[in-house]
Amino acid sequence: MKALEIVSAIRSGGATATSVLEATLARIHAHDGAINAFTAVTAERAQREAAAIDALKAQGRPLPPLAGVPYAVKNLFDVEGLPTLAGSRLHEKRSPAARDATLVARMRDAGAILVGALNMDAYAYGFTTENTAYGPTRNPHDPERSAGGSSGGSAAAVAAGMVPLALGSDTNGSIRVPSSLCGVFGLKPTYGRLPRTGSFPFVHSLDHLGAFGMGSEDVAACYDAMQGPDANDHACAQRPVAPVLPELARGAGGLRIARLGGYFDAHAGDEARAASRCAAEVFELAAEIELPEVERARAAAFVISAAEGGSLHRETLQRDYGGFEPHNRDRFLAGALTPAAWYVKAQKFRAWFAERCRELFTRFDVLIAPATPVVAQPLGTEWLELQGRRLPLRPSLGLLTQPISCVGLPVMTVPIAGVSALPIGVQLIAAPWREDLCLRAAHQLEQAGVARWEPA
Amino acid sequence: MTADATTAYVEVVACAQGFELSAEQVARIAAIFARTAEMAELLMEFDLPESAEPAPLFRP
């Protein structure tokens, strides 16, 4: 069941939070051995939270908006009582988190039931969730293939139907890439919208938190529950809550939509281009435009990530290189050597590019682009053949997402049905702080039958 | 940057930061650094106005 269907069933008395939880734990037990999305299952906590919802219902008291909805979080979120792994075995020795991350606390307050922590690329530097310490997360649509990353556990858990909602992080595409490859809906809000307090960082300038779900209404409800200021996150914009769920019924009527060509077509395979065209066809009069200097925007995100990520882990690499994830320890170390001039120029370029995007959004409300160049690739794949070029796969899966998160724009990724045997998604991109527009466009695609979650 | 310059840079700067790297590590890290250098070249060759400021805001 989807999240809001669960809430309705519990409200009407057709189910209890405890019965929903039992079914969820049974599904995790039955399916996660083959998928490896979970690194911890928090059954005792979940039972306490579910019992509290059932007690509210028994007392006839009002139920919160996500009452009884099971969810799980990427293991870089603090969960009281668990060490925050951030995908690294080095963190197992750390003290358990003393309190929940802000977003986990807000989900708890909204009545959601935390059932576990989810696998990821170590320290979020990767797009494939090939984690040497905790094993790869497998794609529920084809277990020989990657789920994408770095929030691969989050996308796979939703794709496999183990949970209706999951939380993840996105620095360069880590929500959008696994959403695309696993066929789920994923929202990366505007940079600074959702507070990151109590989550392990990767690149402070680019880190976003967001949500995965089986449809736009579920994702909107989850996002609404997590909004709001938090003075403990310096980058949080401290904006008031602006609920989007009530906006979805408006659809995309009146929105000015454009499909991004140019760079986004040149770096996409046939299926990804077909998905982007298929989405655009739903919106009559959708224009086709080019965003200037996209390749340099990707370069800026790449350089900033290398420099800040390398700086963050420099001392750990000096102390314990051997204990670090083999897939990315050399990338982090190379990043620690980044010249300051490159980093500063990248930050200046980013400001310039953000201005070009702002100009574009005076003419358009939502931009459509493919989310990944290709569908999920077999685990262990090193190279990607794309329009006659041979590219290293792991960094290249973010070719289409990195330029957008570089300037913090809100993006909803939706799975496009019927263009390929394996899932592939498109990005619906709006101006800063206009998550409502991304979600309205997503809802329209769902209503048209073009975007949909399909069980793996 | 040429391949030789990249290798020399990685060796010297890693050493200055206290890393003790084997020749194999230097080669692997230089290959990664070369990709970042290609990205940086795209940025460094791009003219921005003198007034351009870095994106992050510091709020005291």
Which residues in chain A touch residue B6, judged by CB atoms under 8 angstroms apart?
A: none
Taking chain A (456 residues) in consecutive chunks of 10 residues, what is each chunk's mean pLDDT? 98 98 98 98 98 98 98 98 97 96 98 98 98 98 98 98 98 98 98 98 98 98 98 94 96 94 97 97 90 98 98 96 96 98 97 96 97 98 93 94 98 96 98 98 97 94
Closest CA to A112 of A189, A210, A45: A45
* pLDDT number for residue A387: 87
Note if A150 is an active site residue. Answer: yes
Render pLDDT for A346-356 as a digit per residue (tens, 0 to 9): 999 999 999 99
- The torsion of the CA quartet A143, A145, A148, A153, rounded to 10 degrees, works out to 20
Q: What is A3-298+334-447's CATH number?
A: 3.90.1300.10
**Bridge partner residues of A113 (DSSP):** A70
User: How many CB pairs (< 8 A) connect A and B?
Assistant: 86
Q: Is A349 close to B43, i.e. CB distance below 8 A? A: yes
A441 and A447 Cβ atoms separated by less than 8 Å: no
Domain ranges of chain A: 3-298+334-447
Residue at A49: amino acid letter: E
Query: With an 8 Å Cβ cutoff, is A313 touching chain B?
Result: no
Write the CB contacts of A156 (distance below 8 Å, at least 6 apart in sequence).
Answer: A35, A37, A129, A137, A138, A139, A140, A147, A178, A182
Chain A residue whose CA is closest to B9: A337
Note if A74 is an active site residue. Answer: yes
> For residues A325 and A87, what is the distance between their CA atoms, to the nearest angstrom?
9
Task: Give pTM, 2 decimals.
Answer: 0.98
Domain ranges of chain B: 3-44
Closest CA to A397 of A41, A189, A148: A148
> Which of B13, B32, B53 has its CB closest to that of A330?
B32
What tokens appear for A38 in the block?
A: 């979970």
Across A48-164, the runs of DSSP E, i.e. the strands, are: 70-74, 113-118, 138-139, 142-146
Closest CA to B45 of A290, A399, A206, A293: A293
Q: Is B44 close to A348, i.e. CB distance below 8 A? A: no
* pLDDT number for residue B8: 97
Mean pLDDT of chain A: 97
* pLDDT number for residue A286: 77
What tokens appear for A442 in the block?
A: 């997503």
Number of CB atoms found within 10 A of residue B44's CB: 16
> For residues A249 and A339, what is the distance between their CA atoms, to the nearest angstrom?
49
> Which of B19, B39, B52 has its CB closest to that of A333?
B19
A233 and A369 Cβ atoms separated by less than 8 Å: no
Render pLDDT for A143-162 as a digit per residue (tens, 0 to 9): 999 999 999 999 999 999 99
> Which of B18, B33, B53 has its CB closest to that of A334?
B33
pLDDT-above-90 percentage for chain A: 97
Render pLDDT for B3-59 as a digit per residue (tens, 0 to 9): 999 999 999 999 999 999 999 999 999 999 999 999 999 999 999 999 999 986 667
> For residues A375 and A443, what is the distance between their CA atoms, to the nearest angstrom?
23
**Bridge partner residues of A310 (DSSP):** none
Q: Is A352 close to B18, i.e. CB distance below 8 A? A: no
Residue A321 carries which DSSP code?
G
ipTM of the complex model: 0.96
Phi then psi dihedrals of residue A185, to 5 deg: -90, 135
> For residues A311 and A193, what is the distance between their CA atoms, to the nearest angstrom?
25
CA A40 to chain CA centroid, Å, is: 19
* pLDDT number for residue B55: 83
How far is the alpha carbon of B27 from chain A, nearest alpha carbon, in Å?
A: 10
Which residues in chain B touch residue A317, judged by CB atoms under 8 angstroms apart?
A: 19
